[in-house]
Amino acid sequence: MSFRDGLEMTFEESSFGNFANRSSSKWRRYPADVLPMHVAEMDFEVAVEIREKLHDLITRSDLGYLGPIPELATAFEKYAHERWGWRIQKQNLKLATDVGVAAVEILRVVTKPGDRVLINSPVYSSFYHWIHEVGAVEHDAPLRLEGNSWRLDLAAIEQAFKSGVRVYMICSPQNPVGTIHSPQELQAISDLANQYGVLVISDEIHAPLSFDTFTPYLAIEGADKNGVVITSSSKAWNTAGLKAGFLIYQSDEVAKRIHGIPEAMHWRSSLLGAFAMTVAYDACDYWIDQTNARLEENLAHLRAEVEKHLPKAKLFDHSATYLAWIDLSAYQLAKPQAEILRHGVALVPGEDHAPGDEYSSFVRFNFASSKERISEAVRRMHSALESGN
Ligand SMILES: Cc1ncc(COP(=O)(O)O)c(C=O)c1O
């Protein structure tokens, strides 16, 4: 079979293979008999157009430093406008090694050691590492559970701004709870940010994986004065190992605040990653639609399996991402993730997502896999939690 034949496998055929021969972190962290449902990678094939582009660059030995790449801003401009109605300013898109590096480089120039950065727990664990890397500390305005939905606490956010916090890192949509923040909530944040002089760093890496309407922060009126978006196609199109992301802003006010970020950030991102992003935004919107449909099916499957085999577990409303947030507190185990791991399923422990241990009886479950693997993981969780084995 030629390389091209492999590429022409349909989405259906290619998506549920045995991926254990992959060499990424997901497949190497635990022994082979552990089901890896922890790190945020999908068990799906990468879009054919992206693989073709990479193949082309590699076969032509076109693997030098990343130079100017106006194609990326053009592709993202089209994507952001068609998908979300957001008009970007192309000249203010700056490449970074990845989203983590974009966050750290911004934090480095807008905070000094000891400064507080607002976050909303439970949130992606690297937020804490990025903040600590620059010597700052997190200030938490935790999400509130309203009915079955994790929502921003606008009063707590305003209180934080009033108390002098001047940088806010929002996860939009939010990993791990799968919440899409509403335009009204984002408008309120932007208004408060302008009132109190706060810089809002909006991490939108999961945005294409939204099952309901997503609003980019910079599409909100007035947010241009206070916001910078950090993102990449790497999460939604499943190419995290390629190492490229970017930040984007759209006002002189924000340009001044983040002035001092090294020009070298561009050089520190990968040519393969940057061209993969260009192809993703330019030609692979259809792949996201297919993937979101699959993820919604998987989520329904996970809910049904959990209801059947883990009746005391609690899932929540979920509108984006493939990372389910599961409350296992009814099982009264101090560390359910550790017990589940002993039964052969790797999940991310809840306590990684908050400054304290209030979520140690929660787990994050990656459902971007086959239905078979999801069922098997839930069956093993049942043995760990329900049968006392
Ligand atoms: C919200 C969020 N931001 C950033 C990242 C990591 O992005 P990168 O690999 O580009 O640093 C992840 C990875 O899961 C994530 O969930």
As given in the structure block, the two tokens for residue 288 are 């996201």
Q: How far is the CA of 155 from the centre of ligand 1 (A)?
A: 27
377 and 320, same domain (yes or no) = yes
The response to whether residue 124 sits with its C-beta less than 6 Å from ligand 1 reads yes
Question: Residue 22: what pLDDT?
Answer: 86
Q: What is the pLDDT of residues 62-81, one digit of tens each?
A: 999 999 999 999 999 999 99
The backbone torsions φ and ψ at residue 36, rounded to the nearest 5 degrees and listed phi first, read -85, 100
Q: Hey, which of 39, 120, 124 would you mutate to test ligand 1's pocket, going by the most ligand atoms within 8 Å of its Cβ?
A: 124
pLDDT at site 20 = 62
Token pair, residue 195, equals 């009132």
Which pLDDT score, from 0 to 100, does residue 13 have?
Answer: 39
Measured in residues, the chain has a length of: 389
The answer to whether residues 253 and 342 belong to one domain is: no
Of 97, 171, 235, 270, the residue with max ligand 1 atoms within 8 A of its CB, to mutate for a pocket test, comes to 235
Tell me, yes or no, whether 295 lies in a domain.
yes
According to DSSP, the residues that pair with 93 across neighbouring strands are: 248
Q: What is the CATH number for 110?
A: 3.40.640.10
* pLDDT tens-digit readout, 167-190: 999 999 999 999 999 999 999 999
H helix runs in the chain, sequence order: 3-7, 11-14, 25-28, 48-59, 70-84, 99-110, 126-133, 154-162, 183-196, 252-257, 264-267, 271-283, 285-309, 336-342, 371-385
**3-state SS record for 46-109:** CCHHHHHHHHHHHHCCCCCCCCCCHHHHHHHHHHHHHHHCCCCCHHHEEEECCHHHHHHHHHHH
Task: Please name the residue whose Cα sits nearest to atom 7 of ligand 1.
Answer: 99
pLDDT attached to residue 324: 98
Domain end, chosen from 256, 283, 310, is at 283
Is 52 part of a structural domain of the chain? no
pLDDT at res. 388? 57
Do the beta carbons of residue 320 and residue 210 sit within 8 Å?
yes
What backbone phi and psi angles, to 5 degrees, belong to 89? -105, 110
CA of 172 relative to ligand 1 center, distance in Å = 11
- pLDDT score, position 8: 40
What is the C-alpha to C-alpha distance for residues 246 and 231, in angstroms, rounded to an integer?
6
Which pTM does this prediction carry? 0.95
- Residues of the chain falling short of pLDDT 50: 1-17, 389
- 127 within 8 A of 277, measured Cβ to Cβ: no
| DSSP label of 30 | S
95 and 194 together in one domain: yes
Number of structural domains (the chain) is: 2
Residue 152 and residue 250 share a domain: yes
Mutation test of ligand 1: which of 95, 171, 205, 366 has the most ligand atoms closer than 8 Å to its C-beta? 205
Our answer on whether the CB atom of 370 is closer than 6 Å to any ligand 1 atom is no
| 138 inside domain | yes
| 295 shares a domain with 217 | no
- Do residues 231 and 317 share a domain? no
Same domain (yes/no): 80, 30: no
What pLDDT shows up at residue 1? 35
Give the domain extent around 371: 3-46+285-385
- Residue 366 inside a domain? The answer is yes
